[in-house]
Structure 1
Amino acid sequence: MIHITLSDRRESPSDDPLGRTHYGYSPNMPPSEIYRDNHGYYVLGTRADRENYALFSAPDHSGERKVVLAVEIERIDRKTVPGRGVIEGDILSEGHPVFDAYVGKPITGNRNPINYIDSVVGRRTCACGCGTEISLGQFVPGHDQRALHERVSQIGTVLDFLDWFDKVHSGVGETVTNTDSSLRHGRPQAIRRETYNLDKYEWPNGLELFLYDDGRIKVGHKDSSIAVTEVSNYTAGKTGTSRASAHVIARFTPTESGSAS
């Protein structure tokens, strides 16, 4: 874990690269403000990139140093402030093992504002799926390569994998073939866009359907304007014979630069 010792709250320079007005800690600050004012920017070595959690500590009213915030690290941003690291992640709350073990508890400070703690609390399992618990990084050493090779083998050879990967990330998909031959608007191209976390379906006439992993849906049409004509929500039938449902009806109209069907 990364342990960051906070100073007393004070004004930030007018040219603060994170746009902060203050940094440091004062009593009764909510976790969101502690994070906003103190998640960067620090001189962080390469070890920081392998840590999963960050603890922030400050003296209480009695002068005893205690942990005031725990964050699960998503990434270390090293681009916003050249030569420094900005911690990006999720604020932990009661019920998470790291929060329960550290937040509000005394912790030893250090003359260096950045130090590291070796802890068995908050371990995670190796991302390859082997089940091994680890405290640093995402993988047991060597398991990242094993996981990669296993996934390549599911596609075929390395060449097969490269061909598949380039198609997915260049937006070139495969035509949906399991369709009714009487369809009037053609067969769509099905494309997985991993970068944007969505599946895309594109019809020959320019109609596009985007299905996002978080449940959102977007419908588009090239060279067109759109008007939503109906939005409906239906509750489930009292007898259980019908399920709750919802729908949106929209009409695309060709613009002067093109046509739609």
Structure 2
Amino acid sequence: MKKVIHRADTRGYANHGWLKSHHTFSFANYYDPNRIHFGALRVLNDDSVKGGMGFGAHPHDNMEIVSIVLDGALEHRDNTGKQEVIRKNDIQIMSAGTGVVHSEFNASKTEDVNFLQIWVIPAERNVAPRYDQRTFDPASRENKLQVVIAPDKSAGTLWLNQDAWFSLGKFDVGETVAITAKKAGIGTYLFLLSGEIKIDGETLQTRDAIGLSEYDKATVEIIKPAEFLLIDVPMLS
């Protein structure tokens, strides 16, 4: 087993007043040659945006972009005419492909919105841009893993232009969670949203993360009530 630990306080940080952003991987003005990506996982930003503020129209291409709202609501608009509000328990997918221009604003004028924006390197370049969004029942991740993104388009989940899976879980103290490698060449990145866990002898606390590759299985022990996100992606060089 190979593993990499990313502690919460080692992430890049930018405070723009209206936006506070923690960068797990190199992004914008934060650059660390040892933290460019974990396989196909290229960006994991933990953003908090003040009421009434947001990101104006800006372009993306050839990237799979996932937005997960943790608190509040985020309004999305793009040049295809799509306009949606993403709320807690919603997952949004945007395949930028040949190119898309979009904006993201806090849907509230007064309350902050906290969300994760995650970029995954696509399996195929220059595909037609695509947008999708779905609400997932939080009860379905109580003391178990809830798959929200999978490569199989018929799985009842969202899907990416990549051999990737996203799963969410919320666990009580004393629970154990078995993590199994999806298949050869796929690594697992665990981002701890809250709580405290132990995995392969490592103790993780809120916003810490661990990446596992070249492994068959691992066990997560829940030390304090915990919520986490699992991202399984190809281990690209």
Normalising by structure 1, report the TM-score: 0.23
| Structure with larger Rg | 1
* Structure showing the higher helix proportion among its residues: 1
* Structure showing the higher strand proportion among its residues: 2
